[in-house]
Amino acid sequence: MPAESGSNRRPETGAFFQRDRTWHPPVLTPNYKTSVLRSPQKAPLSFDNTLSEIAGPVFGHAMLRELDADLIHNFARPGESALGERIIVYGRVLDERGVGVPGALLEFWQANAGGRYRHKKDGYLAPLDPNFGGCGRAISGEDGFYAFRTVKPGPYPWPNGPNDWRPSHIHFSVFGQGFAQRLITQMYFEGDPLIWQCPIVRGIPDKAAIETLIATLDMQATIPFDARAYKFDIVLRGRRASLFENRPEGN
């Protein structure tokens, strides 16, 4: 299958860089209580990527509909829109080499402006917004660029400690070009004091790593009298060039 029509660029087939597991939250973060019984206790089996990890599905732009990247309207009744602070979230999907990742499928989900999810497991007393579903998706462009429109989600209490609150956040699911790049993470908002109190956030050991999950307010990208903008880049695993790779013998 060609990488893209009208291009003689060869698809990349190199293995992905080793994942730095000290940069991610460890499997067991006891202050996030649910991790206690759900964290593997034995060491994972390490091996260089095979084709099963290097290959990955490609989602074409054809599957997208007009409102997929507009959470303000994609669940709203005709002529109505979701309540809350209107924002644009934009950024690039990059890999660890700093290269834009085109064709990446991004899926987003979030609570409404009051901090309530449209889900039967969420019993928070903040009301549902009849015009807000809470999901959206986009596919990155040639340079890795993506954008969507939504309302800023509210913070909410959750059953962990007796009085734990999640900072405002948007969940991101990202497919890169290989299945080994698969990633789910969360985007936080610049200036939110709850970020530094959250047991889920604090599972990430390094403050510098946490800061890469905090979106920056970008007043130059706002739409005047409509929506403010937050910039959020996502970095997926980089990959080795396969140009000079020897076939390992007897490996």
Q: 128-157: which residues touch other proteins (CB under 8 A)?
A: 133-137
Q: Is 35 exposed, middle or buried (0-12, 13-18, 19+ CB in 10 A)?
A: middle
Q: Which residue of 109, 146, 148, 189 would you call a contact of other proteins, by CB under 8 A?
A: 109
Catalytic residue among 86, 116, 169, 239: 169
Nearer to other proteins, 126 or 209 (CB): 209
Question: Which of the ranges 123-131, 144-152, 199-207, 219-227 carries the binding residues for other proteins, by CB under 8 A?
Answer: 199-207
The CB density around residue 114, as the number of other CB atoms within 10 Å, is 19
Nearer to other proteins, 70 or 227 (CB): 70
Strand 145-151 to strand 86-95: parallel, antiparallel, or no bridges (unpaired)? antiparallel
Nearer to other proteins, 107 or 218 (CB): 107
Q: How many residues bind other proteins (CB under 8 A)?
A: 96
Q: How far apart are CA 84 and CA 114, in angstroms?
A: 8
Q: How far apart are CA 102 and CA 52, in angstroms?
A: 21
Q: Which of residues 62-101 bind other proteins (CB under 8 A)?
A: 63, 65, 67-68, 74-75, 94-98
Q: Which of residues 157-186 bind other proteins (CB under 8 A)?
A: 171, 173, 177-180, 182-186
Q: Which of residues 9-68 bind other proteins (CB under 8 A)?
A: 11-13, 19-21, 23-27, 29, 32, 34-42, 44-59, 63, 65, 67-68
Q: Is 207 left (phi over 0), alpha (psi -120 to 50) or beta?
A: alpha
169 carries an active-site annotation: yes
Which among 160, 150, 156, 165 is positioned nearest to 115, based on CA atoms? Answer: 156
Q: How far apart are CA 194 and CA 198, in angstroms?
A: 6
Question: Which of the ranges 81-89, 123-131, 145-153, 234-242 carries the binding residues for other proteins, by CB under 8 A?
Answer: 234-242
